[in-house]
Chain A
Amino acid sequence: MKKERSSEISALFDGELEEHEVRAAIKASVHDQDGWRMYALISDGLRGDCPNAPDLTAGVMSRLREEPVVLAPRALGAQRRQHPLLALAASVAGVAVVGWLVLAGSPQTPMSGENIAASKPATVASAVTPGLTFVAAPDNPTRSTPRTTDKHPVQADISEYLLAHHAQSPTSHLHDSTQQIRTVAMTAARP
């Protein structure tokens, strides 16, 4: 066993690390699984939990490699770290966006070439969805100006999907209250 192994893996096993130490300790534990397993064996041995039981880890991990990799929205992390006021700010911002859609969007309003050239659309998904185009304002890429290009309604389920998976988006991270808002560019399928 490595003598230079630090106490961080031992402390992580007990859940006794400061938050800023956890990520490095997890990385160390993944690279030093022998140490982690030994600590588990010692713990189970002291408590009388099947000390001679087989190590199921290899079998489980072997089967996991055949499973699709789990990718979940940061529901757990957002729930743990989100400041309570951010939820309120996000709700207000969401209402503001919906209000903008209702009041400012017009199916007959064309987009001029200058507007298209000056705007910086942030594309989150390449889904072609009839209905709505959001164009980032030239002076503030985090704000979006909706333009309805045809009469088909935006599919609510796609918006919900994009909102849930925004963390995996390649676009830049949005801060503060705009974290809950996504700028998307969905172009209508033109004949």
Chain B
Amino acid sequence: MGEREADLVLVERVQAGDQEAFGLLVSKYQRKLLRLVMRMVRDPAEAEDVAQEAFIKAYRALPNFRGDSAFYTWLYRIGVNTAKNWLVANGRRMPTMSEIGDGDSDGIDESVLLRDDETPDRVLMSRQIGETVNAAMDALPNDLRTAISLREIEGLSYEEIAQVMDCPIGTVRSRIFRAREAIAARLRPMLDIAPDRRW
């Protein structure tokens, strides 16, 4: 079962009345959708509102989702349409396609994330999260670091990673899990003590 099929199972749970399953999909794709929306709606606060509205629209439209496309592709279209409608309603210029880009392009310039009321603490927090993740990665044993890099950065499946690392798929699953737990152990203290926790 691939990631697409796993998402479809979650969608099926939502269609059966389980709203909490939709929360898992929100948690998984919120930043990706937010990055997409921010390419069209420049203001971060407004982009958050638009992204939230896109999720609500997606929930309402779920009875019509048949799985012909991947869930994120479908969500992506709703996000784009919601952002377009917001721009029209607010009399804003529609960005060009080169400005929108695609959903999988590199991370946007951090300066775009700055709001007029962005405090130095928040900017620092953003950098600290990234640095903590990188530091945790550097501290991982080679096999764990390789496994999670191949998964998260290269996007390989467990089977492909198993072939690359010449180990069983179960070992790949275990290494990725242990790598995530190790990184989370470093992140959690920093996030728990953050004065205005945003993650």
- Which A positions have Cβ atoms within 8 angstroms of B? 1, 3, 5, 7, 10-19, 22-23, 26, 29-30, 33, 35-57, 59-61, 63-65, 67, 69-72, 74-77, 79-80
B167 interface hit (Cβ, 8 Å): no
Q: Which 6 A-B pairs have the closest CB atoms?
A: A15-B3, A48-B107, A52-B126, A15-B6, A7-B177, A72-B63
Question: Among A12, A16, A61, A70, which residue has its beta carbon within 8 angstroms of that of B63?
Answer: A70
- Quick check: A13 and B28 within 8 Å, CB to CB? yes
B30 closest partner in A (C-beta): A56
Question: Among B14, B176, B198, which residue has its beta carbon within 8 angstroms of that of A10?
Answer: B176
Q: Which residues of A contact B151 (CB under 8 A)?
A: 14
- Quick check: B187 and A76 within 8 Å, CB to CB? no
If A12-B6, A30-B20, A69-B17 touch, whether A61 touches B11 (CB-CB below 8 Å) is: no
- State A11–B175 Cα separation when bound (angstroms): 11
- State A48–B107 Cα separation when bound (angstroms): 5
- Chain B interface mostly helix, strand, loop or mixed? helix
- Quick check: A40 and B31 within 8 Å, CB to CB? yes
**Closest Cβ–Cβ distance, residue B44 to chain A (whole Å):** 8
Q: Tally the A-B contacts, defined by beta carbons under 8 Å.
A: 210
B66 interface hit (Cβ, 8 Å): yes
- Which B positions have Cβ atoms within 8 angstroms of A? 1-24, 26-28, 30-32, 34-35, 38, 48, 51-52, 55-56, 59-60, 62-63, 65-67, 106-107, 113, 122, 125-126, 129-130, 133, 137, 148-149, 151-153, 157-158, 169, 173-174, 176-177, 180-181, 183-185, 187-188, 198-199
**Closest Cβ–Cβ distance, residue A20 to chain B (whole Å):** 10
**Given A11-B173, A19-B1, A26-B10; 12 other pairs, CB 8 A cutoff:** A16-B1, A16-B158, A45-B130, A49-B35, A51-B126, A52-B199, A53-B31, A56-B30, A61-B23, A61-B26, A70-B17, A70-B19
- Quick check: B199 and A51 within 8 Å, CB to CB? yes
